[in-house]
């Protein structure tokens, strides 16, 4: 067998894993699903804290912290939504 052929086979075998999908990485759909679940949990936690503070069962500091976390989550969701809408509009502007 020629040395160049052996070298080519070894290089192919070394580069092949780089082209295969990574099973350890979450897919884009899984990442968005996780983001949505975290968002919903943040909103639910904030709502529970707000209800508890209305009946006197929660610390005012905890209420302010929960509201701040909710504000950040909503701002992040709005930013993601705006980027998705912007990308969709850009796709619509593409000539066919």
DSSP string, the chain: --HHHHHHHHHHHHHHHHHSPPTTSPPHHHHHHHHHHHHHHHHHHHHHHHHHHHTT-S-HHHHHHHHHHHHHHHHHHHHHHHHHHHHHHHHHTS--
Domain span at 84: 27-92
In this predicted model, what pLDDT tens digit does every residue of 11-21 receive, in sequence order?
767 765 655 66
In a domain? residue 32: yes
The number of domains in the chain is 1
In a domain? residue 47: yes
In a domain? residue 40: yes
In this predicted model, what pLDDT tens digit does every residue of 21-55 receive, in sequence order?
666 666 777 877 888 888 899 999 999 999 998 88
In a domain? residue 60: yes
In a domain? residue 11: no
Q: What tokens does 63 get?
A: 């209420």
Q: How far apart are CA 52 and CA 30, in angstroms?
A: 33
In a domain? residue 65: yes
Q: How far apart are CA 78 and CA 68, in angstroms?
A: 15
């Amino acid at each position: 067998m020629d040395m160049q052929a052996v070298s080519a086979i070894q290089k192919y075998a070394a580069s092949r894993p780089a082209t295969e999908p990574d099973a350890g990485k979450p897919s884009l759909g899984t990442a968005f699903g996780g983001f949505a679940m975290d968002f919903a949990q943040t909103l639910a936690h904030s709502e529970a804290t707000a209800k508890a503070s209305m009946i006197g069962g929660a610390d005012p500091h905890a209420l302010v912290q929960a509201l701040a976390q909710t504000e950040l989550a909503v701002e992040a969701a709005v930013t993601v939504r705006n980027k998705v809408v912007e990308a969709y509009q850009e796709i619509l502007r593409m000539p066919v």
